[in-house]
Amino acid sequence: MVLMEWTPALSVDIKSIDEQHKKLFGYMNELYDALTQRKEKEVLTRIFDGLEEYTRTHFGLEEIYFDKFNYAGKDAHVAQHKEFIKRLAEIKKEIQNDATDTEDLLTFLVDWLMHHIKGTDHQYSECFREHGIV
């Protein structure tokens, strides 16, 4: 089952970044699918660990470009990344203590990702394209 569907409106017009965003959507959809089948407890740790690792990879790529291109919005954007990583660490503890409400987790992740892509990520598109990242 699909919770989050990729649309052209979400594109930052940078193929590698869009592909990474699509992969993050895949993790959300996998978690949603498990939730609808009432199998989230069986797969939550695996899905979350993959999401956490891939998020760090994705943020890392963006931050390399921020430094390389001297992106003006870097500090605010990186602060959002750090706050999200901090929240992921808190969620991981909840998962380990079996104290996670999967629906709340999914709602948080979807809301954050959608707002971040539509807002913050779109702001760097022009800078990246000006430096040849397409």
pLDDT in tens, 67-115: 999 999 999 999 999 999 999 999 888 888 888 788 888 899 999 999 9
The Cα–Cα gap between 112 and 115 comes to 5
Is residue 3 in some structural domain?
no
In 1-134, where does DSSP find H-type helix?
A: 15-36, 40-69, 74-96, 102-115, 122-130
Is residue 119 in some structural domain?
yes
Is residue 4 in some structural domain?
no
pLDDT in tens, 49-60: 999 999 999 999
- Are the CB atoms for 129 and 13 separated by under 8 Å? yes
Is residue 1 in some structural domain?
no
CATH number of the domain bearing residue 94: 1.20.120.50
What's the domain range around 86? Answer: 11-130
> How many domains does the chain divide into?
1
Is residue 96 in some structural domain?
yes
**84 phi, psi to nearest 5 deg:** -65, -45
- pTM greater than 0.95 (yes/no): no
